[in-house]
């Protein structure tokens, strides 16, 4: 160890804070000019944290499941009655769906419909709630050599969750549709009108820019639109809810506050991510 | 800081040195643990705000009461970690944390003399400054006016949790985090 004189050491100690502050300021400027470093660092950090949270999440999930079970015991009879009714209703819907499916394939055959894309997907666990004050994202744990790539679409059991923006060697980061940077072109299911879904950091993204005369109706289903080539058409996103005249929000179908398992689907939609773009994440966010 | 009192003493044993180091590292470890814990999917929708609020409280407390255990490089590192976890402009939290440490260190003798209520108030002002700076810089760097509500939540959470943390940390300061008791 180098022996330094006490006054010199004191001077050095007094200097650390301003020097580090200047360094931090420099980092902000560098980060603003060039996102490569930040992305590299955050991907490495995610790779370290993902396996860690993977281990921790097992007992956490178990505890949560136990809690739900205990809570469920209290309302067993009521729940049973509700489920029976729901089951009956679903059976009716199943019959309708099967009839429609048959009709659909018949019509497709008549039209010589050739859009039979086969999408590949991987199911991965969400291990960390990697959001920030001004960012809504989650971290998923992937195995090594997973086929996940930036730009792929993420769904949960209910509907659209977001898209992959960053991939490390054992983790990937998903930008949720509620993030400030998220823009999703959508179609209103009933009127077939187009609109834009804008993330606002809150639990419910805003629905905006619909055409005149095509105002979304309260409760109307909203699905993704293939416009701009960013998403495949027809993925369920949510339903419309008005908070004021002309101000529509979307209640997401996906359970975004409690994501546990998500499906990362490769629809081959890469129009928005030209190969020469060094950092798809920025593009994916801003579109 | 090394022991600079005059006199000849025995070289401390390995166990004792370990004890000293663990006590010295207590504030860092607790702050890091809080940050990582709040990163887990707990289903809290203010966990990001809480992450920053608790870090601010911890940084402030330790900078006032035991600045040797909260060196500037640690504040810098914790800030960097938060920036990476929260997808904030990198370096922003580091800068804010360093400013908090600087202010707390500068006023630490006065703050310690003032008693709890006034130091809470002092923390309130520091947190207000930190949160406003984060809000302004985040808006400026993204070049758009961000919703201010998350930052208000941050400030409120920081103020709410400071007394509880101060009690726990105060206890730790006297026992678990006191290297002189090793």
Give contacts of A203 with chain B, Cβ < 8 Å. Answer: 45
Q: Look at residue A239 in the predicted model and tell me its pLDDT.
A: 92
The span from the CA of B93 to the CA of B86, in Å, is 10
Q: Please judge whether A24 and B76 are an interchain contact, meaning their C-beta atoms are less than 8 angstroms apart.
A: yes
Total domains present in chain B: 1
Q: Does some domain include residue B132? A: yes
Q: Does some domain include residue B3? A: no
- Chain A interface test: which of B88, B91, B94 (most A C-beta within 10 Å): B91
Q: How confident is the model at residue B156 (pLDDT cuts 50, 70, 90)?
A: very high
Give me the residue from B71, B85, B151 closest to A130, CB to CB: B85
Give rounded-to-5 percent helix, strand, coil for chain A. 40, 25, 35
- Chain B interface test: which of A132, A137, A173, A181 (most B C-beta within 10 Å): A132
Q: Does some domain include residue B1? A: no
Q: Does some domain include residue B49? A: yes
The span from the CA of B22 to the CA of B28, in Å, is 10
Q: Which two tokens stand for residue A209?
A: 């820019």
Q: Look at residue B2 in the predicted model and tell me its pLDDT.
A: 57
Q: Would you write out chain A's pLDDT as a tens digit for each of its 287 residues?
A: 567 788 888 888 788 888 999 999 998 888 888 778 888 888 888 888 888 888 877 787 788 788 888 888 888 888 899 999 999 999 999 999 999 999 988 888 888 876 656 678 899 988 887 677 888 888 898 888 888 888 899 999 889 999 998 888 888 999 999 998 889 999 998 888 899 999 988 889 999 898 888 888 888 999 998 887 788 888 899 999 999 888 899 999 998 888 888 999 888 765 454 443 344 444 444 43
Q: Does some domain include residue B94? A: yes
Q: Look at residue A258 in the predicted model and tell me its pLDDT.
A: 82
Give me the residue from B48, B81, B154 closest to A131, CB to CB: B48
**A59 in B contact zone (CB under 8 Å):** no
**A45 in B contact zone (CB under 8 Å):** yes
Q: Look at residue B75 in the predicted model and tell me its pLDDT.
A: 93
Is the pLDDT reported for residue B3 higher than 70?
Answer: no
Range of the structural domain that residue B107 is part of: 14-181
Closest CA to B65 of B181, B169, B155: B169
Q: Look at residue A277 in the predicted model and tell me its pLDDT.
A: 39
Give contacts of B89 with chain A, Cβ < 8 Å. Answer: 28, 31-32
Q: What's the DSSP call for residue A254?
A: S
Q: Which two tokens stand for residue B93?
A: 């939290």
- Nearest residue in A to B149, CA atom: A133
Is the pLDDT reported for residue B37 higher than 60?
Answer: yes
**A44 in B contact zone (CB under 8 Å):** no
Question: What ipTM was reported for this prediction?
Answer: 0.82
**A141 in B contact zone (CB under 8 Å):** no
Q: Please judge whether B87 and A137 are an interchain contact, meaning their C-beta atoms are less than 8 angstroms apart.
A: yes
Closest CA to A154 of A49, A45, A235: A235
**A90 in B contact zone (CB under 8 Å):** no
Indicate the average pLDDT of chain B.
Answer: 87
Q: Please judge whether A17 and B86 are an interchain contact, meaning their C-beta atoms are less than 8 angstroms apart.
A: no
Q: Look at residue A269 in the predicted model and tell me its pLDDT.
A: 63
Residue A63's Cα: distance from chain center in Å?
25
Residue A175's CB is within 10 A of a number of other CB atoms, namely 27
What tens digit of pLDDT does each residue of B107-141 get? 888 888 888 888 899 999 999 999 999 999 989 98
Q: Does some domain include residue B8? A: no
Q: Look at residue A7 in the predicted model and tell me its pLDDT.
A: 84
Rounded to the nearest angstrom, the minimum Cα separation between A92 and chain B is: 35
Rounded to the nearest angstrom, the minimum Cα separation between A243 and chain B is: 18
| DSSP H or E segment with residue B133 | helix B116-142
Q: Look at residue A287 in the predicted model and tell me its pLDDT.
A: 39
What is this structure's pTM? 0.79
């Amino acid at each position: 160890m180098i022996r330094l004189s006490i006054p010199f050491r004191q001077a050095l100690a007094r200097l650390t804070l301003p020097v580090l502050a200047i360094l931090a300021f420099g980092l902000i400027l560098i980060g603003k000019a060039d996102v490569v470093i930040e992305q590299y660092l955050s991907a490495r950090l995610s790779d370290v944290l993902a396996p860690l949270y993977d281990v921790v999440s097992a007992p956490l999930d178990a505890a949560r499941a136990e809690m739900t079970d205990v809570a469920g015991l209290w309302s067993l009879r009521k729940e049973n009655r509700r489920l029976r009714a729901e089951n009956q209703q679903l059976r009716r819907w199943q019959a309708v769906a099967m009839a429609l499916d048959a009709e659909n394939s018949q019509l497709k055959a008549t039209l010589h419909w050739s859009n039979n894309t086969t999408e590949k997907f991987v199911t991965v666990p969400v291990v960390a709630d990697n959001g920030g004050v001004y960012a809504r994202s989650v971290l998923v744990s992937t195995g090594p050599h997973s086929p996940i790539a930036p730009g792929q679409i993420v769904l949960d059991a209910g509907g659209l969750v977001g898209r992959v923006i960053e991939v490390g060697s054992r983790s990937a980061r998903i930008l949720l549709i509620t993030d400030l940077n998220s823009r999703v072109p959508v179609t209103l299911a009933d009127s077939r009108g187009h609109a834009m879904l804008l993330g606002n950091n809150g639990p419910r993204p805003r629905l905006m820019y619909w055409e005149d005369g095509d105002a979304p109706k309260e409760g109307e289903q909203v699905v993704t639109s293939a416009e701009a080539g960013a998403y495949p058409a027809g993925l369920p996103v949510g339903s419309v809810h008005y908070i004021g005249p002309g101000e529509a929000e979307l209640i997401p179908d996906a359970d975004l506050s409690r994501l546990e398992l998500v499906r990362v689907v490769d629809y081959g939609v890469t129009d928005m991510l030209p190969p020469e773009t060094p950092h798809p994440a920025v593009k994916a966010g801003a579109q | 800081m090394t022991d600079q009192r005059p006199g000849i003493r025995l070289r401390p044993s390995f166990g004792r040195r370990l004890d000293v180091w663990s006590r010295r590292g207590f504030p860092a470890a607790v702050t890091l643990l809080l940050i990582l814990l709040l990163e887990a999917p707990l289903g809290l929708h203010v966990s990001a705000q809480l992450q920053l609020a608790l870090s601010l409280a911890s940084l402030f407390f330790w900078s006032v009461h035991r600045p040797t255990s909260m060196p500037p490089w640690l504040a810098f590192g914790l800030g960097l970690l938060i920036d990476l976890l929260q997808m904030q402009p990198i370096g922003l939290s580091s800068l804010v944390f360093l400013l908090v440490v600087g202010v707390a260190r500068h006023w630490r003798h006065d703050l310690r003399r003032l008693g709890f209520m006034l130091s809470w108030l002092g923390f309130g002002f520091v947190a207000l400054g930190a949160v406003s700076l984060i809000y302004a810089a985040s808006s400026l760097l993204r070049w758009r006016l961000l919703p201010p509500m998350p930052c208000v939540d941050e400030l409120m959470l920081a103020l709410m949790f400071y007394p509880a943390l101060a009690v726990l940390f105060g206890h730790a300061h006297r026992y678990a985090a006191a290297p002189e008791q090793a």
